[in-house]
Amino acid sequence: MKDVSLRTLDAVQAIARLGSFRAAALDLDVSTTALSHMIARLEGDLGVRLFNRTTRSVSLTDAGRSFIDRVSPALGDIRDALDQARALRETPSGQLRINASVQAGRAIAPLVLEFLRRYPEMEVDLVTEGRLVDIVAEGFDIGVRPADLVPRDMIALPLGIPQRHAVVASPGWLARKEAPRSPADLPVQDCIRVRLPNGALYRWQFEKDGEVVMFDAKGRLTIDEAEVARSAVLDGVGIGYFIEQDVAEDIASGRMIRMLEDWTPPRPGFCLYYPGRRNPSAGFSAFLNMARSSKAAS
């Protein structure tokens, strides 16, 4: 049995996590051919197949699933040991992996850029996606999401960035329709619905004078991408419900008209969150300190 490198074990985890040799190769910055050879050598050494491969999909075999279940905790311990060793350095170095929603990624981008300027030996891998991931299982150091989506077992640091929604329509749509004065006036057929990554339809939340209204949007058009929903609103298809900063320029330019503004007060903003760590790396600690300082200054 030949020695197995950490890189090979990382490759197994990446393929299992992403469900694709191509995606894992991009994630690891290697060629698909090199990755295939790496896994083939490991399977040859072990004498078992870890993955079922077809032209369309990749999935773990029972042996592969058992292998991942045993190896992942050990790899976590090894990474913690490496982080502990790096923490002894005075100058933060290494890579920080952050998972965020698209809007949260935009919100913390200035902090990330300042972090890179301040610590030239650090790298940041910022992944933005709609689905809420298990940051520990998927190898991230930090997550950034709205406060109400932070898992309860995580340590949360509010970033002090308020979040607000905006109900909007195009001038063309308002030329044909009457603007709603309350959530109850929203037209049944003309609301553009957005489907979340988990398959659920996004509920529109309103609040005024202590009254909270959860609105199940109805309409003929359902979309799973906010940018496409924005295009539909601009095209006069109907009314949309967005994070305010995503349509701020459209509102300022007059391409969209805002409605029900008194029903959309600021809500708790984004939180940076992470699991408890006994020996955080110098880079991890430096980023948290910058986030706390940024919050205090805002």
**pLDDT 10s digits, 128-164:** 987 788 898 888 999 998 887 888 889 999 887 677 8
CATH placement of domain 6-85? 1.10.10.10
The dihedral over CA atoms of 98, 103, 104, 105, expressed in degrees to the nearest 10, equals 40
**pLDDT 10s digits, 59-96:** 889 988 998 888 888 888 887 777 666 665 567 888 99
**What residues does each domain of the chain span?**
6-85, 92-160+269-297, 165-263
Indicate the average pLDDT of the chain.
Answer: 87
Cα–Cα distance, 262 to 206 (Å, whole number): 9
The CATH class of the 92-160+269-297 domain is alpha beta
Residues 263, 208 contacting (CB under 8 angstroms): yes
Any bridge partners for residue 96, and if so which? 124
What burial letters (b/e) apply to 158-188, b meaning 16+ CB within 10 Å? Answer: ebebebebbbbbbeebbeeeeebeebeebee
What is the CATH topology of the domain spanning 165-263? D-Maltodextrin-Binding Protein; domain 2 (3.40.190)
**pLDDT 10s digits, 233-286:** 999 999 999 988 889 999 999 999 999 999 998 877 789 999 986 677 888 989
Identical topology for domains 92-160+269-297 and 165-263: yes
What is the CA angle 143-147-148, rounded to 5? 115
Structure tokens at 120: 């030239």
**Global pTM value:** 0.57
